[in-house]
Structure 1
Amino acid sequence: MNRIILSLYSLLMWVAQPFLRGKLARRSLQEPGYGEAVQERFGHYSQPEEAQADLVWVHAVSLGETRTAALLVKALRAEHPGLRILLTSGTATGRAEGESLLREGDIHIWQPWDSAAAVARFFDHFKPRLGLLMETEVWPNLVAAAGARAVPLVLVNGRLSEKSLRKALAISPLSYPAFGALAAVYAQTGDDAKRFRQLGVDVAGVFGNLKFDARPDMDQQATGKAWRQALARQVVMFASSREGEEGAFFKEISATAQQRRATPAIDVIAADIFPPKFLIVPRHPQRFDEVQALAEQHGLRVSRRSGWAAGPADSEEAMSADVWLGDSLGEMALYYALSDVALLGGSFEPLGGQNLIEAAACGCPVVMGLHTFNFTEAADLAEAAGAARRVADMPEAVHTSLVLLARPDAHQAAVAASFAFTAGNRGATQKTLAALRPLLRR
């Protein structure tokens, strides 16, 4: 029965290829990266075959997973200096970030589409000796092709939300064999491990989240802190905002902005604090122009990070604007260091939230909504530690942020709790490295 289901799935993935090509063509109009090397997605490669390449394959689908993979790759290289990496990416931002991981002899390509022919060509061309899948990426044909070639696959920093578990259980004839064929699963949390076991997985270890071992860019943090000091103003940031959330945010701050123009010394939400500056950093770069247009529809004046020659304090446009738009990539450490408190994108609509660990590592307290199911344990731990506050909706989020800024003692306690939260949860990289040693020696 499982063979029949897999064959039907393979047929569906083959039939879907023209639709994928069309989707990539449309995406490339906004993000040109999606138009690069499209044939790689279907198992056609320009790189020469590496019969004795001895490659270790690392798959990091998107930007967050790629940054997490960088921690593990760095540790692997330190222990195995001659290691060659085959890195696969699924998104344009992940692919761009992945370039920084590469060393001489490494290979970087798109992940193969999960059709039987594409994944077969992938394995036969590159012949990796081990595959490390970051966090969530388990595809039926990919796993089946690896098993047929005796290539062990390990799910590293594995996470499985309740929503993802329900989806996997709904297609159990595909998901059970795929997860069950993995050589090992290293889960982030005990709850993740329980959910993996519901799919028949023998979890090899619960090591914590690799993201806690990331050290935010020190130069960016220094720049952000210098900018904040020059401002002599407090900054409220909406970090990694998602479509459907920004309108509510702009609605909350637009009334404040209009009142402040009339009476600059008064803040209508919290009249006893100096009016802060508001910063928004959208999750997806292709939406920068869209988010600016939305802010302007709410009557807000916008200043973009790309327009600042130096910091915002040196820009007359920035200082007179109602909202700043962080329209750059790879500068989250700068934005968190510039900010006094951050609203967590993806948590004010049922989108699962975003990673709050980098904010905490930069000493930026977080205010989050009810929807953090993609990062349940990290969010709960942060809340328990005092590094994050949970609220019901966007109006309460903005109000809570302003109240926190109005209470210096409470704010400083939240900053200290943020640093302690990240420091107390480090160590997953070394645990993962130790678990991988037997597989790397094979």
Structure 2
Amino acid sequence: MNFVLALYSALTWAGQPLLRRKLRQRALAEPGYGLRVEERFGHYTPESLGRDGAGRWIWVHAVSLGETRAAAILIEALRARMPGMRLLLTHGTATGRAEGAKLLQPGDLQVWQPWDTHAAATRFITQFRPAVGVLMETEVWPILAAVCRAQGVPLALANARLNAKSLDKALKLSALSMPAYQSLAAVWAQTQADAQRLRALAAPVRAVLGNLKFDVLPDAALLAQGAQWRQRSARPVVMLASSREGEEAMFIDALRRLGAQALKVQWLLVPRHPQRFDAVALALQAAGLRVSRRSEWLGAPPRALAQAGEECLWLGDSLGEMPLYYAMADAALLGGSFAPLGGQNLIEAAACGCPMLVGPSTFNFAEAAELACAAGAAQRVPDLDAGLQAALALVHDVAARKAAVAHCLAFAQAHRGAAQATAAAIEQLMHAWSGAAPQR
């Protein structure tokens, strides 16, 4: 073990009491963080262990909500290729675990990701002995990767992405990051640019397979409901989608600068993180805006608040309903792209046929944002003021919006196929690692 890894190992071991305290604090607002805490340290109850599946688990790690939704389409493809597979699903966040519970079938198992100490990681691998481990997108933990390698468990990184900022950070800690990436059995990147950056960290990139999120089909019932609700508004609906901290204040200021023009549309704001719903509502009300919260709607947005001349903002304070919100919106501004946060995923918006206005910061989804803009599914704007003006122009131009919707749907369709390719690659990795030929 090199010095940096040894130091990291000592820090994660010493940080366990701090993690426990953080989990207790988070559980006050999100009770899911208080669930089965000992799993995070590699201790499992008979209930969490389930029936014995050592050597047969297909382990998928999806840290949070976005990764879990991408994992859902991959898991579906894996089940199609390997009927009867046993899924071991791990997460790091409460929202990820809640969403992941929907993916379980009889015989599957869901536990927390082990904290990155040698003891917890070893207990996890020793207990479950997965046939293969699949990390989603960015989640590479140095000790867990090293333990998998030492224990003979093939660990892969699927739907892998790495932006330039993260690469710079990783290179500064290359003594820690490079051994972790080298310990992986395979990496399947989203884009050629991601592949190039991952190779700079000595990651074993086997192929560029595209982004799994293109294969996620929006819930048809939510789309239909959203389209119906849009008709209740006397004005076009414009959404700030998946807003991040700081962007709501920018949005309020931009609305004030719009003046009377702001009354030409119905505004809908959907924060990215559920723990911020109440704080965002209070901030909007403190700014003098009337707020109608999704959680308070009795079946649909109140008609009285949708009439022209009413300064009322709709607040989307629910989980799992982004297709509903995108279907409600005539256009949307991409959260995370107006503050220097790298942007959020715009693929779901395209699949729902919702044209996007994208700010200057999209390093988390750089290629997807550029491709969407080139395809006419999105439009780049320099700041939030310009975004609001562009949204107003788009939603009042029937022909332009109709064309943008068609571009969105075509863009989403053109990039599908990563799920089947990744599932095939995982199956091949399993059999190559075990030395067996695929069974059909």
Alignment match, 2:97: 95
Deviations 1:393-417 (A, max 9, x none): 1111111110112222211111111
DSSP-derived class of the 1:279 partner: strand
Alignment match, 1:264: none
Deviations 1:72-121 (A, max 9, x none): 10111112111001100011110100001101111101101101111011
Paired residues of 1:158 and 1:186 also in contact (CA < 8 A):
yes
Alignment match, 1:162: 164
More moved, 181-190 vs 386-395 = 386-395
Deviations 1:307-348 (A, max 9, x none): 111221x44356545211001110000000000001101011
Paired residues of 2:161 and 2:189 also in contact (CA < 8 A):
yes
Structure 1 residue corresponding to 2:356, chosen from 366, 388, 403: 366
Deviations 1:173-223 (A, max 9, x none): 111111011111000000000001111123100011010011000000000
Partners of 2:425 and 2:154 lie apart in 1 by: 14
In structure 1, give the amino acid aligned to 2:77: A
Partners of 1:321 and 1:74 lie apart in 2 by: 44
Partners of 2:54 and 2:350 lie apart in 1 by: 44
Structure 2 residue corresponding to 1:292, chosen from 281, 298, 320: 281
Structure 2 residue corresponding to 1:190, chosen from 192, 195, 198: 192
Paired residues of 1:251 and 1:298 also in contact (CA < 8 A):
no
TM-score by length of 2: 0.94
Partners of 2:426 and 2:182 lie apart in 1 by: 18
Paired residues of 2:148 and 2:154 also in contact (CA < 8 A):
yes
Alignment match, 1:138: 140
Deviations 1:337-388 (A, max 9, x none): 0000011010111111100000010110001111110000000100111111
Alignment match, 1:347: 337
In structure 2, give the amino acid aligned to 1:103: Q
1:52 shift after superposition: 3.4
Partners of 2:94 and 2:303 lie apart in 1 by: 31
Question: Structure 2 vs 1, CA of residues 51 and 399 (structure 1 numbering), >3 Å: closer, same or farther?
Answer: closer
DSSP-derived class of the 2:70 partner: helix
In structure 2, give the amino acid aligned to 1:177: P
Alignment match, 1:221: 223
DSSP-derived class of the 2:205 partner: coil
Deviations 1:45-83 (A, max 9, x none): 113483635111100000010000000101111121110
In structure 2, give the amino acid aligned to 1:188: Q
- Which aligned pairs between 1:9-408 and structure 2 lie closer than 5 A? 9-46=8-45, 47-48=48-49, 50=52, 52=54, 54-254=56-256, 267-268=260-261, 275-312=264-301, 314-317=302-305, 319=307, 320=310, 322-408=312-398
1:432 shift after superposition: 1.0
DSSP-derived class of the 2:71 partner: helix
Gap regions ≥5 residues in structure 2: 435-440
Paired residues of 1:318 and 1:324 also in contact (CA < 8 A):
no
Alignment match, 1:427: 417
Partners of 1:402 and 1:317 lie apart in 2 by: 19
Paired residues of 2:154 and 2:430 also in contact (CA < 8 A):
no
Paired residues of 1:308 and 1:315 also in contact (CA < 8 A):
no
Paired residues of 1:303 and 1:321 also in contact (CA < 8 A):
no
Paired residues of 2:305 and 2:312 also in contact (CA < 8 A):
no
Partners of 2:56 and 2:429 lie apart in 1 by: 13
In structure 2, give the amino acid aligned to 1:411: R
Paired residues of 1:303 and 1:318 also in contact (CA < 8 A):
no
1:282 shift after superposition: 0.4
DSSP-derived class of the 1:243 partner: coil
In structure 2, give the amino acid aligned to 1:42: F
1:251 shift after superposition: 1.9
Paired residues of 2:232 and 2:306 also in contact (CA < 8 A):
no
Aligned length: 427
In structure 1, give the amino acid aligned to 2:411: F
In structure 1, give the amino acid aligned to 2:215: D
More moved, 221-230 vs 320-329 = 320-329
Paired residues of 2:54 and 2:127 also in contact (CA < 8 A):
no
Question: Structure 2 vs 1, CA of residues 51 and 368 (structure 1 numbering), >3 Å: closer, same or farther?
Answer: closer
Paired residues of 2:2 and 2:175 also in contact (CA < 8 A):
no
DSSP-derived class of the 1:204 partner: strand
Paired residues of 1:254 and 1:298 also in contact (CA < 8 A):
no
Paired residues of 2:233 and 2:266 also in contact (CA < 8 A):
no
RMSD: 1.5
In structure 1, give the amino acid aligned to 2:318: S
More moved, 335-344 vs 40-49 = 40-49
1:125 shift after superposition: 1.1
1:230 shift after superposition: 3.0
Paired residues of 2:181 and 2:204 also in contact (CA < 8 A):
no
TM-score by length of 1: 0.94
Partners of 1:40 and 1:169 lie apart in 2 by: 31
Partners of 1:51 and 1:87 lie apart in 2 by: 13
DSSP-derived class of the 2:231 partner: helix
